Amino acid sequence: MSIRIGILGYGNLGRGVECAIKQNSDMELSCVFTRRDPSLVTILTDGVNIYNTNDILKHKEEIDVLIICGGSATDLPAMTPKYAKDFNVIDSFDTHANIPQHFANVDAAASEGKHVAIISVGWDPGMFSLNRAYANAILPDGKDYTFWGKGVSQGHSDAIRRIDGVLDARQYTIPVEAAVEAVRSGSNPELSTREKHTRECFVVVEEGADKARIEKEIVTMPNYFSDYDTTVHFISQEELDRDHKGIPHGGMVIRSGVSGWSKETKHVIEYKLTLESNPEFTSSVLIAYARAAYRMSKEENYGCKTVFDIAPAYLLNMTGDEMRAHLL
C-alpha cells in the first residue's frame, strides 16, 4: 500500500512536492489543500481532489503524511503546531533563531495527538545541518564554514522590488572563490561577511527612473546589502524574463579539522549542492522525510523530530539487505 501524501499550500514548494511524489513508487498524492477557492487552482496530477484548507479535518483518514508548504515568517509557526495534533506532518521551517521555540510548540502538539512531526526539513536547514552534525561528530576539533550560492535570494529580490522606480529584480548570492579556496586549504581563516559572499542584482526600472539613486539605495540598504560588495545591472524586462527566470541555488558546508596526538594532521570535509531549482530540491528532501515520518508513526515513535533524530535507512524505499548490498 502506498504512503498517502497530502499537500497543504500549492505554490512553488507544493508543486515541487507533487512532482517528487511521481518519482517515488511507494507514494501517492491523496489531496491538495489551498486557502484559495479550490475551483481556481489547477494541479498537475490527474484525478486528485483539491479542497479548501478549512475542510482539512474531514479528510484526515485519507492522509498518512501532510506536507505543510508554507512560509517560515507567519505560516509555519501557527500551522505546524495546529496540524501536528491531527496529522503526521513535515515542514521546512527555516528561521534558524526560532527553531528551539518552534520545536517545543510542535513537540507538544504532536505528542498530544500521537503523531510524528519533522520540522526544518530541506537543504539549509536540512542537508546542510546533517553535514554539519556528521562533520562535528568526526572532527570535534575544527571549524565550520557555510557558503551559499550561486543562487537566487527571494528575500533580497523582494527588497529591491520595494524601491521606488523598480519594476522587477533578481538578486544572486555568490560565494567569493578566494574565501572558499582558503577554507579548502585547511588554513581556518577568519572571514567577515563581506569576504565570504558578493551580491549581484539585475534590476528593471521605470522609464526615466533615476538609476544612480536606485543603485545607491540598493548597495547601502542595511541588513540586506550594506555589509556586502554589491553589483547592480540595469536590464530590460525582456532580458530578465529570458535570462533570470530560474530559481537556482546551492552552496557548501565545509568543516576543516585536525586529528593526531598533537593535532598535527589536517582534514577537510566538504558537502556541496548545485541546484537548478531551490523549491524542487527542497520538495525532494521533504518527500524523503515524509517516508520516515510514516514509518516512525507505525513504530509509535511520536513527537517532534529533526533530521538529527532520523536514521538514514528510514528515508529510502529499499530493504536493509538492498541498502547493504548496493549503497554501503
Does the footprint of a copy of itself cover residue 311 (CB under 8 A)?
Answer: yes
Q: For residues 4-63, which are near a copy of itself according to CB under 8 A?
A: 16, 18-20, 22-24, 44
Does the footprint of a copy of itself cover residue 200 (CB under 8 A)?
Answer: no
Order across the sheet with 49-52: list the strands.
49-52, 27-34, 3-8, 65-68, 88-90, 116-118, 303-305
Does the footprint of a copy of itself cover residue 2 (CB under 8 A)?
Answer: no
Owner of C-alpha cell 530578465: 240
Q: Judged by CB under 8 A, which of 36, 57, 78, 140 binds a copy of itself?
A: 140
Q: Judged by CB under 8 A, which of 136, 154, 188, 231 binds a copy of itself?
A: 136
Does the footprint of a copy of itself cover residue 183 (CB under 8 A)?
Answer: no
Choose the binding region for a copy of itself from 55-63, 83-91, 226-234, 300-308 (rule: CB under 8 A): 300-308
DSSP per position, 10-25: -SHHHHHHHHHHHT-T
Closest CB to a copy of itself among residues 203, 307:
307
Q: For residues 249-268, which are near a copy of itself according to CB under 8 A?
A: 259-261, 265-268
For residue 82, what are the CA distances in angstroms to 135, 145, 230?
34, 35, 41
Does the footprint of a copy of itself cover residue 280 (CB under 8 A)?
Answer: yes
Owner of C-alpha cell 525582456: 238
DSSP per position, 33-57: EESS-GGG---SSTT-EEEEGGGGG
**Start-to-end Cα distance in the chain:** 27
Closest approach of Cβ 226 to a copy of itself, in Å? 27
Distance CA(182)–CA(189), nearest Å, equals: 7
Closest CB to a copy of itself among residues 224, 302:
302
Q: Judged by CB under 8 A, which of 147, 271, 294, 302 binds a copy of itself?
A: 271
Closest CB to a copy of itself among residues 53, 136:
136
Q: Judged by CB under 8 A, which of 103, 147, 228, 294 binds a copy of itself?
A: 103
Q: What is the DSSP letter of 220?
A: T
Closest CB to a copy of itself among residues 14, 166:
14
Does the footprint of a copy of itself cover residue 170 (CB under 8 A)?
Answer: no
C-alpha cell read off for 203: 534590476
Choose the binding region for a copy of itself from 192-200, 201-209, 211-219, 270-278 (rule: CB under 8 A): 270-278
Q: Judged by CB under 8 A, which of 141, 158, 164, 241 binds a copy of itself?
A: 141
Does the footprint of a copy of itself cover residue 272 (CB under 8 A)?
Answer: yes
For CA atoms 101, 103, 109, 111, give the dihedral sign.
negative
Distance CA(289)–CA(315), nearest Å, equals: 6
Q: What is the DSSP letter of 191?
A: -
Q: Judged by CB under 8 A, which of 130, 166, 180, 293 binds a copy of itself?
A: 130
Nearest residue to 100 (alpha-carbon basis) of 314, 291, 304: 304
Binding-site size for a copy of itself (CB under 8 A) equals 70
Distance CA(2)–CA(5), nearest Å, equals: 9
- Whether the CB-CB separation of 50 and 36 falls below 8 Å is answered with no
Distance CA(162)–CA(224), nearest Å, equals: 13
Q: Which residues bind a copy of itself (CB under 8 A)?
A: 16, 18-20, 22-24, 44, 96, 99-100, 103, 120, 125, 127, 129-134, 136-141, 184, 186, 259-261, 265-277, 280-281, 283-285, 288, 291, 306-313, 315-317, 320-321, 323-325, 327-328
